[in-house]
Structure 1
Amino acid sequence: MKKNKIAIDARFVLRKQRGMPLYTFMLCKLIPKMLPQHQFVLFINKGFEHNDSAEKYQARLDEICKLDNVKIINADAEDEISWEQLILPKLLKIHKVDLLHMPGNRVCLFTRVKQITTTHDLMEWHSLRIFRYYKKRSFKENFYFFRQKAYLWAVYRLGLSFADHVLTISQYSKHDISQNFPKLKNKSSYVYHGIPGGFKPPPNNKPKQGVLMLGGDSHQKNSENMLKAWAQLPKDLKKAHPLTILGFVGGEDSIISKTIRALGIENDIVIKGWVTEDELIQAMQTSKVFIFASREEGFGFPLVQSMASGTPVVTSEADVLIEIGQDAVCSAKAEDFLALSSAVRNLLTDEQLYNEKVQKGLTISSKFTWEHTAEHIASTYLTLLK
């Protein structure tokens, strides 16, 4: 059998490991093992300013490089556009690549190499407003944002049609892609993410305490309504189950900061910045309830991680969260903070309901494995190479 050369855009392996970066790392780690008869070239960018620390990402690269059929090629670039559309096409020619996988919502527009893209969701596309001029910004700043938006338009409107296969991460996202880009219906598929093995129920029966939420402050994350939901709880429940926010990176002007001040709960909650995976696992294992009521998600990693940790989740009625969580979650409309608060209160006070949701969550989450994800993608590679 001919040894085909498969390239993966592995830049996200160098980023902090959540969401897309974790997805990319697991593919680079597992798929070469499944396809030992093929050669893999992983292209990275050590020159990108928002990478994780060199010590941390080098450990991940070393783990991937243990396989004989893997080679890592670095090409430095300060910005993403030039790397994707100028540097990458040259690398593909130099290394005589047969198939390219872009796993991070991007497409290489200037190559004739067969290409698969993972488009996790269409949130960028739905929020795209190319011709929006902000008076508070300088002309130079407005031009920069226009260029970025125009580039995104090209990636989605043109790039997805160029791709030989569009992979996504949920049935909801596949339907959304097909609705917005009908021509992709017959060349797209979906496979769920897996979750790391560390997310499991705690080894002891120590009572759980507190409500947990994550600190994303974009409009899509709906943080203001989750804060309002907790603030509506009776005083005794708030005292027994204080709110902890993990992964907050905003400032004083963040919607989270503004909402906390407006509600007067500055002294009642704990806010932490970026946490390690071990710290996230511990928080999910020890919290009584996790509230994850995003307005929109492509998949919802934290939902599955919390269920696997034995902690039930209150979600919004976003299509993908209902698809993933099924009957293991308690849900309400994203904008209805009173209904979200009622769902949190029910889980905190109804022991039978709580135990039922815990068991259902453990059953559902056990089906999300990285091996299954990698097998689907490896099979897609082989189909395209034929």
Structure 2
Amino acid sequence: MRVAIIEPPLMGHMLRGTGVYTRNLARALEDVTDMEIVMSEIESLPKNVDLYHFPYFDPFFRTLPVIRNKPTVVTVHDLTPIRFPEHFPRGIKGELKWQLQKYILRGIEAVITDSQASKVDVEKFVGLDPQKVHSVYLAPEPEFFEKRDKSEKENIRKKYQLPGKFAIYTGEVNWNKNLPNIIKAATLAKIHLLIISKSFIEKHEESYNPWKDSLLESQTLARNNPWVKGLGYVKLSELVTIYQMASVLLLPSYYEGFGLPVVEAFASGCPVITSDKGSLGEVAAGASLIVEPDDVSGMAKAIHSILTDQELGRKLIKKGKNKLSQFTWKKTADQTFNVYNSVLDK
């Protein structure tokens, strides 16, 4: 079987979760018997392959060609802006683009999602037959399992001037990520918060964009706040070290399609505080402290519990490590290969 994986047209996504997915899936699929992977771009789809796999879908950008000459699989990581239109207003142009993208997606042979929660959303909002939609979990990158020694951690501490104890948040800053309440809770708990996010440290245009309300509020809350430190993009080797140094990961989102930082924290031996919204109930349940996204006080109490109760922290770390057996790139590749076969066997 020869499969072309089409790299996302929006290059910024290669630095985020989509890039992790595309890179690691391609690498894992290479180890599958009778499988050959060809990396390609949307502008030049290869003809000498059996199937196209688009590893990214955006409701409001043309990420899929209308005409395709091969059976096609598309990965839809989440439809958060469609599920919560009150927080992601799309206007007339956005609505037209969504209708076109939805029309194209309906003609795809199979769709892969990162979780059961996203599978349900795709079936509901796109109107697809459940038999065409397949839930396949993601996994942490292999580098997260590499143990860092004391000197490596100390080098990172000096480079970024990190305190002895700190919580981390990593990811984009959209409404569903709930960063304003994370900042409030960390401040209330008096724990230093390290925000690893390229968009968080950037200046943004003066014109109003409701999609950036949460980002602007977060930047305002962080300004002159001694408990908050923002970092932009950090390379993977440094991110791995920071996870292993952190006291806790904070990801009490309003909604997630998967929640990659959760499994990264599990692999790093970092306790997790999260919510049970969207996919997080699947990914984090039983191995993390669960809080309500709007309960800042409860979030602060959960942080305090982990900081002061070493036995609790050890239990969460152990449960996280045990839960990782559900999330491996081999499983992701094997299940994706099965989807490919189901498409080609029709």
Higher relative contact order, structure no. (Cα contacts within 8 Å, ≥ 6 residues apart):
2
Provide the residue aligned with 1:200 in structure 2: 145
Q: CA deviation at 1:190?
A: 0.9
Q: Distance in 2 between matches of 1:263 and 1:33?
A: 45
Alignment of 1:307-326 (within 5 A): 307-326=266-285
User: By how many angstroms is 1:14 displaced?
Assistant: 6.4
Return the match for 1:283 from 222, 242, 249: 242
- Closer, same or farther: CA 262–203 of 1 in aligned 2, 3 Å: closer
Q: Distance in 1 between matches of 2:222 and 2:261?
A: 26
The equivalent residue for 2:195 is 245
1:172 aligned to 2:129? no
**Counterpart amino acid of 2:55?**
P
Superposition map of 1:350-369 within 5 A = 350-369=309-328
What does residue 110 of structure 1 align with?
Answer: 67
Shift of the 307–110 alpha-carbon distance from structure 1 to 2, 3 Å rule, reads same
Distance 1:187 1:121 in 2: 16
Counterpart of 1:186?
Answer: 131
In structure 2, which of residues 230, 245, 260 is the aligned counterpart of residue 301 of structure 1? 260
Residue type matched to 1:166 in 2? V
* d(CA) in 1 for partners of 2:219, 2:109: 47
- Residue 131, structure 1, aligned to residue 77, structure 2: no
Question: Residue in 1 aligned with 2:160?
Answer: none
Which residue in the other structure is 2:96 paired with?
150
Question: What is the rounded CA distance, in whole Å, between the counterparts of 2:234 and 2:149 in structure 1?
Answer: 23
Question: Which residue matches 2:108?
Answer: 163
- TM (norm. structure 2) is 0.81
CA 1:114 to 1:261, structure 2 compared with 1: closer, same or farther past 3 Å? closer
Q: CA deviation at 1:323?
A: 1.1
Secondary structure of the residue aligned to 1:317 is coil
Partner of 2:233: 274
What's the RMSD between the two structures over aligned residues? 2.8
Using the size of structure 1 for normalisation, the TM-score is 0.74
Structure 1 residue 263, shift from structure 2 partner? 6.9
Letter in 2 for 1:211: A
Residue 273 of structure 1, CA deviation: 0.8
- 8 Å CA contact 2:248–2:303 kept in 1: the answer is yes
The answer to whether the Cα contact below 8 Å between 1:201 and 1:285 also exists between their aligned partners in 2 is no
SS of 1:318's equivalent? coil
**Structure 1 residue 359: Cα displacement:** 0.8
- Give secondary structure in 1 for the equivalent of 2:111: strand
The verdict on how the C-alpha distance between 1:366 and 1:12 changes in structure 2, with shifts beyond 3 A counting, is: farther
Change (3 A) 1:97 1:327: same
Change in Cα spacing, 1:256 to 1:130, as seen in structure 2 (3 Å) is closer
Q: Which residue of 1 aligns with 2:179?
A: 223
Check if 1:384 corresponds to 2:343: yes
Distance 1:349 1:201 in 2: 27
User: In structure 1, the residue corresponding to 2:250 is in which secondary structure?
Assistant: strand
Q: Identity over aligned residues, as a percent?
A: 25
Deviation at 1:173, TM superposition (A): 1.1
Amino acid of the structure 2 residue aligned with 1:110: I
CA distance in 2, matches of 1:372, 1:208: 37
Contact kept in structure 2, 1:121 and 1:173, CA below 8 Å: yes
The runs of 5 or more residues in structure 1 that have no matched partner are 45-82, 133-145
Distance 2:184 2:52 in 1: 45
Give 2:168's aligned amino acid: L
AA paired with 1:247? S
**Greater gyration radius:** 1
CA contact (8 A) 1:107 1:163 kept: no
SS, match of residue 237 in structure 2: helix
**Is this contact kept in 2: 1:26–1:370, CA < 8 A?**
yes
- Report Cα offsets for 1:292-325 as digits up to 9, x if no partner: 1221111011011011111111112313112101
Compared with structure 1, are the counterparts of its residues 377 and 328 closer, same or farther at alpha carbon in structure 2 (3 Å cutoff)? same
Q: Which runs of 5+ in 2 are unaligned?
A: 58-62, 154-162, 205-211
Q: Is the 8 A contact 2:167 2:248 kept in 1?
A: yes
